[in-house]
């Protein structure tokens, strides 16, 4: 799941932080791809409207099924 998708869904980084009970600065420290456990948490919170990238990463394309790129 990309951070921009989650921020757009909730309306702001502050709203995203609030739903996860985090400080806004924690959200700011993420790269573009949301950490796996937080993404799973958001998938659960949104009832599947946001989808977490699954652990399977294509070796050829470097992408998961949802299109998230693996971070280096």
CATH number at residue 38: 1.10.260.40
With beta carbons less than 8 A apart as the criterion, state whether 56 and 68 touch. Answer: no
The pTM of the full predicted model, rounded to 2 decimals, is: 0.75
In the numeric block, the tokens 């699954």 are attached to: 54
Number of domains present in the structure of the chain: 1
pLDDT of the residue at 59: 46
Residue pLDDT, tens place only, 3-60: 999 999 999 999 999 999 999 999 999 999 999 899 999 999 999 999 987 664 444 4
Question: Domain residues for 30?
Answer: 1-72
């Amino acid at each position: 799941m990309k951070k921009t998708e989650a921020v757009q869904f909730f309306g702001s980084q502050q709203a995203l932080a609030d739903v996860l009970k985090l400080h806004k600065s924690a959200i700011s420290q993420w790269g573009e791809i949301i950490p796996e456990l937080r993404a799973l948490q958001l998938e659960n919170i949104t009832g599947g409207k946001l989808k977490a990238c699954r652990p399977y990463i294509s070796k050829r394309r470097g992408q998961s099924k949802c299109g998230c790129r693996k971070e280096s």
